[in-house]
């Protein structure tokens, strides 16, 4: 059977995946277009046809991750057991890569206005999406209050996400109980 | 009047300060010992007398910051208005530098076991200190529950710390009310 030809979107994804591998391994600065080309099994010229600059790859990666997070968030906020799921997956290799990638982008965003803008847009989209879900689902009316609650949730999950490497053991039963209690305070049912 | 001679501790502090300047400006990797020497107005040889390796400077910086955070934490947990204070100072230049430095160290810790160890030790000391304060001050008995509550607080403040660049406006009145409510749930008075 012949392999079907790779389309443009698949090619872009292949480059993004290769880029992530190198950022996680060496850091943002040391991940060169030549490395990415080698891992993606393309020429540097081909890479530039899809992405003229490293920042364009980052932009595509962040947009792609943001779509994923938005779907996850919907799922989580509906099922209410989302924190348990965050805890369960936190040791997976995929999660480790996401965490390192995210940190590299945020650290670099401190020096690059272009990256800061990409990150701020992604954060804004995620927050707006969360506000929409919370507004529809929970017994909350005041708009500023809803925004405050989402902001609290975002800070908490961000903190958990970035610190998860520190936690050698899984979350204890009292931790699960506490988080459930606090989340019910944060998003009360009708 | 003659300037009094600089003692060893002051010299070390001078080197640490110069190192922070360069890490914040260029990132951990690009901050060279030569840069640090130039900013600290010392020779590279003198720098090596105090710190044999970049990682030794980071270790000293993290230890110094940890002492500071431990004092702040005590103050905050006693006065209960600590989050308001975090919000108030979040636009200051000093806070911006702390945030970038912290992110650089954490990003690098993903690849350097030595840095990961330094960071993990600092986190452990801070968490233990917080657990001691909470155990003494609040109406909580169960040890695992206290640990869970401190873990929640640490994740929340970490998330706020790292995301504070996103917040163009200061925290709203509903945000302050919500955080106060949530913190009273977290650390109930007798």
Does pLDDT of A103 surpass 80? Answer: yes
pLDDT of A90 above 80: no
If you average pLDDT over every residue of chain A, what do you get? 85
In chain B, what residues touch A152 (CB-CB under 8 Å)? 156, 175, 178-179, 182
Q: Does B14 touch chain A (CB under 8 A)?
A: no
- The nearest CA of chain A is from the CA of B6 a distance in Å of 33
Which pLDDT belongs to residue B86? 61
Inspect the interface and report whether the beta carbons of A106 and B162 lie closer than 8 Å: yes
Q: Based on the domain organization, do B170 and B103 belong to the same domain?
A: yes
Give the pLDDT score at A79.
Answer: 57
At residue A171, the pLDDT reads 74
Residue of chain A with shortest Cα separation from B166: A120
Cα separation, B84 vs B156, whole angstroms: 14
Domain identity same for B168 and B105? yes
Distance separating alpha carbons of residues A153 and A142, to the nearest angstrom: 17
- What is the distance in angstroms between the CA of the first residue and the CA of the last residue of chain A? 57
Query: Distance between CA A66 and CA B151 in Å, rounded?
Result: 27
Q: What residues in B contact A149, CB-CB < 8 Å? A: 178
A73 and A123 co-located in one domain: yes
Residues of chain B contacting residue A110, judged by C-beta atoms under 8 Å apart? 24, 99-100, 103, 165
Which residues of chain A have a CB within 8 Å of the CB of B147?
172, 174-175
pLDDT at B164: 57
Return the DSSP state at A138: S
Same-domain check for residues A40 and A111: no
Domain shared by B62 and B11, yes or no: no
Is B183 part of the contact surface with chain A (CB cutoff 8 Å)?
no
Which residue of A115, A155, A162 is the best one to mutate when testing the B interface, meaning the one whose CB has the most B CBs within 10 A? A155
Domain with A17, as residue range(s), is: 1-52
Percentage of chain A modeled with pLDDT above 90: 43
- 3 state DSSP class of A18: helix
> What's phi and psi for A165, nearest 5 deg?
-65, -25
Contacts of residue B150, defined as CB under 8 A and 6 or more positions apart, other chains included, come to B127, B130, B131, B134
Q: State the nearest Cα–Cα gap between A18 and chain B, in angstroms.
A: 18
Buried b (16+ CB within 10 A) or exposed e, A28-48: beebebebbbebbebeeeebe
- Residues A119-148: tens digit of each pLDDT: 999 999 999 999 999 998 888 889 999 999
Task: Give the pLDDT score at B18.
Answer: 96
Mean pLDDT of A86-94: 65
Say yes or no: B93 and B164 in one domain. yes
| Judgement on whether residues B135 and B87 belong to the same structural domain of the protein | yes
CB contact under 8 A, B174 and A110: no
Cα gap B178→A185, rounded to integer Å: 10
Structural element, H or E, at residue B134: helix B113-137
Q: Answer whether B24 touches A (CB < 8 Å).
A: yes
Establish if A179 touches chain B: CB-CB under 8 angstroms: yes
Q: Are B47 and B70 found together in one domain?
A: no
- SS3 label, residue A19: helix
Express each pLDDT in A68-82 by its tens digit: 888 878 777 775 566
Q: How do residues A2-41 score in pLDDT, each as one tens digit? A: 567 788 899 999 999 999 999 999 988 889 999 999 999 9
Is A103 in contact with B107 (Cβ distance < 8 A)?
A: yes
Phi and psi of B119, rounded to 5°? -65, -45
My answer on whether B66 and B157 are in the same domain is yes
Counting one residue from A and one from B, how many pairs have CB atoms under 8 Å apart? 135
The answer to whether A170 faces chain B, any CB pair under 8 Å, is no
From B35, B52, B69, give the residue that closes a domain: B52
If asked whether residues A133 and A158 sit together in one domain, one would say: yes
Tell whether A77 and A137 lie within a shared domain.
yes
Alpha carbon distance A174, B182 (integer Å): 17
Q: How far apart are CA B105 and CA B57, in angstroms?
A: 12
The total of structural domains in chain B comes to 2
Give whole-number Cα distances, B54 to A148, B31, B58, in Å.
41, 9, 7
B21 touches chain A (CB under 8 A): no
Q: Is the domain of B30 the same as that of B77? A: no
The series of mean pLDDT values per 10 residues for chain B, 190 residues long, is 76 95 90 94 94 92 91 73 60 80 88 90 92 89 92 87 62 84 85
User: B75 in contact with A at a CB cutoff of 8 Å?
Assistant: no
Contact B51, B60 (CB under 8 A): yes
Whether the Cβ atoms of residue A106 and residue A122 lie closer than 8 Å to each other: no
Percent of chain A with pLDDT over 70: 87
B87-96 — which CB contacts under 8 Å span 24+ positions? B87/B170, B87/B171, B87/B176, B90/B164, B90/B167, B91/B170, B95/B164, B96/B165
Q: Give the CA count within 13 Å in the CB-facing half-sphere of A122.
A: 23
Q: How far is B100 from chain A (nearest CA, A)?
A: 7
Any A CB within 8 A of B111 CB:
yes
The CATH number that applies at residue A12 is: 1.10.10.60
Are A85 and A76 spatial neighbours (Cβ–Cβ below 8 Å)?
yes
Closest CA to B132 of B146, B120, B121, B145: B146
Reported ipTM? 0.84
Chain B residues with CB under 8 Å of A29 CB are 27, 29-30
């Amino acid at each position: 059977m012949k392999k079907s030809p790779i389309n443009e979107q698949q090619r872009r994804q292949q480059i993004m995946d290769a880029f992530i591998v190198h950022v996680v391994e060496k850091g943002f600065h040391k991940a060169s277009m030549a490395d990415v080309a080698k891992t993606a099994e393309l020429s540097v010229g081909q890479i530039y046809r899809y992405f003229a600059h490293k920042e364009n790859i980052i932009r595509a990666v962040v947009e792609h991750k943001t779509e994923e997070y938005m779907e996850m968030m919907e799922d989580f906020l509906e099922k209410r057991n989302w924190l348990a799921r965050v805890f369960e997956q936190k040791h997976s290799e995929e999660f480790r890569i996401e965490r390192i990638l995210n940190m590299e982008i945020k650290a670099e965003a401190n020096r690059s206005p272009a990256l800061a803008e990409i990150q701020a847009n992604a954060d804004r989209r995620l927050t707006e999406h969360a506000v929409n879900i919370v507004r529809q689902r929970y017994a909350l009316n005041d708009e500023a209050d809803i925004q405050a609650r989402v902001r609290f949730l975002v800070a908490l999950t961000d903190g958990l996400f970035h610190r998860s490497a520190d936690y050698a053991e899984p979350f204890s039963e009292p931790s699960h109980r506490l988080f459930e209690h606090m989340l019910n305070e944060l998003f009360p049912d009708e």
